[in-house]
A and B are shown apart, each in its own frame.
Chain A
Amino acid sequence: MSTYNSAAIEEFNGGVWVFCEQRQGKMMPTSFELISEGRKLADELGSKLYGILLGHNIEGIAKELGGYGADGVYVCDHPLLANYTTDGYTKVICDVIETYKPEVMLIGATNIGRDLGPRCAARLHTGLCADCTHLDIDVPKYKEFLRSASTLTPEVIDAIKEDDRNLKMTRPAFGGHLMATIICPRFRPAMATVRPGVMKKAEFNQAKADACEIIKPEFSLTEADMQTEVVEVVKAAKKLVDLIGADVVVSVGRGISKDVQGGIKLAEELAEVLGGVVGGSRATIDSGWLSADHQVGQTGKTVHPKIYVALGISGAIQHKAGMQDSECIIAVNKNDTAPIFEIADYGICGDLFKVTPMLIEAIKAAKAAK
């Protein structure tokens, strides 16, 4: 098994790294988010920030990462890396980590990142925290985060010692009922997968992109390392809904059950009037009423649009975990005790099939009057 953990923590001084995922030569948006967040962590640690980019014929997309804060990018180019495979990517990343010894490694929590991260952490014998939504090094900054994002008392927060220099990785657990901050004190790199759409992308800076250093590390990879074969990569035929980028999300829940198609149609009409997209609770996805790309919540996507409309959604904690940071939440539900009303800015207790058409007309009229 792995012997990587024999190195002392102090030897891991190779900076903060971000795995920059690309698919078919196109950078995944989460790579830019993580480079932007990684920049802050590297500054707190007083170290450098590097991207690590794997693929084939992908050097051309590396420098753009500099524009979001990377000091350099390790580019690992090989025909066997053209498509993502667990075997190929894990081997190359672990070999390069062993050589350059980063102290922190961030990976986007995509379906690929969540396959790659645990395999690498197990091989490197280090800790990995899954699907993080907040990261800190400096304790004073972490305390400030707790003051706004936790119910801990000021006394408890003030008592936290300020000398801890571990990466503090915060994530929801138990469907969003609890938050946990995890550290990896004995091993490096401290690894985290980070939920896409949560970290904010920095302003792009062309001068920094031009100055970004390209490093081509040595690694070995042969057919013998590959235990799986990618036969094909198929893009979904229909255009997927862009929940994360939307300014307005109109979501439906179990409340549409008496007329599923009619309920979805009303949500689409309201979304169109407001300039948004349609989302759904876990119940609507589990029942097959909407495809999985529409799911908002702990097991779906985290959204923070300007307007979030919840139609017939009771507001299970796992749903709230994915939308409660929206700027303005509007809830329509027949049940006046539905938990969604606890977090809604504006609640209407009524039948969504009756209220929604009136709301569409009222919004059309209000927009016309402007």
Chain B
Amino acid sequence: MKIIVCVKQVPDTSGKVAVNPDGTLNRASMATITNPDDLNAVEAALTLKEQTGAEVIVISMGPPPAEGMLREVIARGADRAVLVSGREFGGSDTYATSQILAAAINKIGVEKDDIVMCGRQAIDGDTAQVGPQIAEKLGLPQVSYAAEIKKDGDTLTIKRMLEDGYMTIKVKTPCLITCIKELNAPRYMSVGGVFECYSKPYEIFDYNTLKDDPLIDPTTIGLKGSPTNIFKSFTPPQKGVGMMLEGADKATCEKLAGILAAKHLI
């Protein structure tokens, strides 16, 4: 049994975000992190590994420096890592990305007992699209927004969150699951894991590795093969600075209440 976990290295948008004058993101000036939801997928895979002895393979598409992130995931307990990297893949939208990752997962091989796991969404794009699109390209059933996963033989019982409750879904392996933060609390790297992380298998899949897969068609990958294009990008205006009230006492609060009353807001 194998569990293939898709992870993404993302700029840390919770901190200070630098924007270039032309409205693009200044990625070079920003710290990168492993996408938070993906760490929940990693944790779910490691939990299943403890229960079943499954092999955990972590996979990412990105530039060569993403190796550091993949080594960190190995240090958390994954068995090996694959980085999908190549100029031909650059500029891919979610559709093209899913084609490439699906081809890479095909290369690793999805067998009857196997599970593919993803985070629900990445904090840079916030699309939540790549997981379901990989599932479609691999012809696997999908369960998204997983908040609980139980495995019994080849059947998984998953609590799938909705805004107003949840569904309980049964699905057989092989399948793809996208994970949310309610699923678990990701473990840290272990000391032993850190020592070993550079001795575990690490491979790079480039265009030549994947080009024989029918999904890797130059007309459906990369910037040119992406169905969507950016028409315009821009920064939203900041709302004008309002009024700082003097002090923080009873008189201040009475003044504010007076303003709200005068504006008929209360």
Output the least CB separation between A314 and chain B (Å). 11
Residue interface bits A151-181, CB-to-B below 8 A is 1, else 0: 1100000001000101010001111111111
Interface 9-mer from B11-19, B46-54, B71-79, B203-211: B11-19
- Given the complex of chains A and B, what is the CA–CA distance between A119 and B11 in angstroms? 26
Closest partner residue, chain B, to A285 (CB atom): B181
Interface 9-mer from A51-59, A208-216, A258-266, A352-360: A352-360
Which A residues are CB-close (under 8 A) to B235?
Answer: 150-151, 177-179
A122 touches B166 (CB 8 A): no
A233 touches B167 (CB 8 A): yes
Q: Does B92 contact A (CB under 8 A)?
A: no
Question: Contacts A182-B229, A363-B257 given: A122-B133 contact, CB under 8 Å?
Answer: yes
Question: Contacts A184-B228, A307-B265 given: A178-B93 contact, CB under 8 Å?
Answer: no
Interface 9-mer from B58-66, B83-91, B108-116, B140-148: B140-148
- List residues of B (160-181) whose CB comes within 8 Å of A's CBs: 160-172, 175, 181
- Given the complex of chains A and B, what is the CA–CA distance between A307 and B263 in angstroms? 11
A114 touches B144 (CB 8 A): yes
Q: Does B259 contact A (CB under 8 A)?
A: yes
Main secondary structure of the interface of A (DSSP, over half): mixed
B133 touches A349 (CB 8 A): no
Question: Contacts A128-B94, A166-B231, A318-B14 given: A178-B167 contact, CB under 8 Å?
Answer: no
Q: Does A224 contact B (CB under 8 A)?
A: no
Q: Does B192 contact A (CB under 8 A)?
A: no
B124 touches A328 (CB 8 A): no
B94 touches A118 (CB 8 A): yes
A174 touches B124 (CB 8 A): yes
Closest partner residue, chain B, to A85 (CB atom): B169
Give the residue of A173, A183, A362 whose beta carbon is less than 8 angstroms from that of B256: A362
A366 touches B266 (CB 8 A): yes
Q: Does A236 contact B (CB under 8 A)?
A: yes
Give the residue of A164, A234, A359 whose beta carbon is less than 8 angstroms from that of B166: A234
A130 touches B19 (CB 8 A): no
Q: Does B151 contact A (CB under 8 A)?
A: no
- Given the complex of chains A and B, what is the CA–CA distance between A175 and B129 in angstroms? 16
Main secondary structure of the interface of B (DSSP, over half): mixed
Q: Does A186 contact B (CB under 8 A)?
A: yes
- Taking residues whose C-beta sits less than 8 angstroms from the other chain, chain A's interface range is 35 or more
A179 touches B126 (CB 8 A): no
B239 touches A173 (CB 8 A): no
Which A residues are CB-close (under 8 A) to B266?
Answer: 274, 307, 363, 366-367
Closest partner residue, chain B, to A324 (CB atom): B239
Residue interface bits B184-217, CB-to-A below 8 A is 1, else 0: 0000000000000000000000000000001100
Give the residue of A164, A229, A318 whose beta carbon is less than 8 angstroms from that of B171: A229
A111 touches B163 (CB 8 A): yes
B263 touches A328 (CB 8 A): yes
Which B residues are CB-close (under 8 A) to A166?
Answer: 231
Residue interface bits A188-226, CB-to-B below 8 A is 1, else 0: 000000000000000000000000000000000000000
Beyond A180-B233, A369-B261, list 12 extra A-B contacts (CB 8 Å): A122-B95, A152-B23, A172-B126, A178-B235, A231-B168, A317-B13, A328-B265, A343-B241, A347-B244, A349-B248, A362-B250, A366-B254
B→A interface (CB under 8 Å):
11, 13-14, 17, 19, 23-25, 93-95, 98, 123-133, 135-137, 141-145, 157, 160-172, 175, 181-182, 214-215, 220, 226-239, 241-245, 247-250, 252-254, 256-261, 263, 265-266
- 3 shortest A-B CB distances, which residue pairs? A350-B248, A127-B227, A227-B141
25 contacts between A and B (CB under 8 A): A110-B163, A111-B160, A111-B161, A114-B129, A119-B136, A130-B128, A150-B234, A150-B235, A160-B232, A174-B11, A178-B25, A179-B234, A181-B231, A182-B228, A186-B227, A230-B169, A235-B164, A328-B263, A342-B238, A343-B238, A346-B242, A346-B259, A347-B244, A358-B250, A366-B258
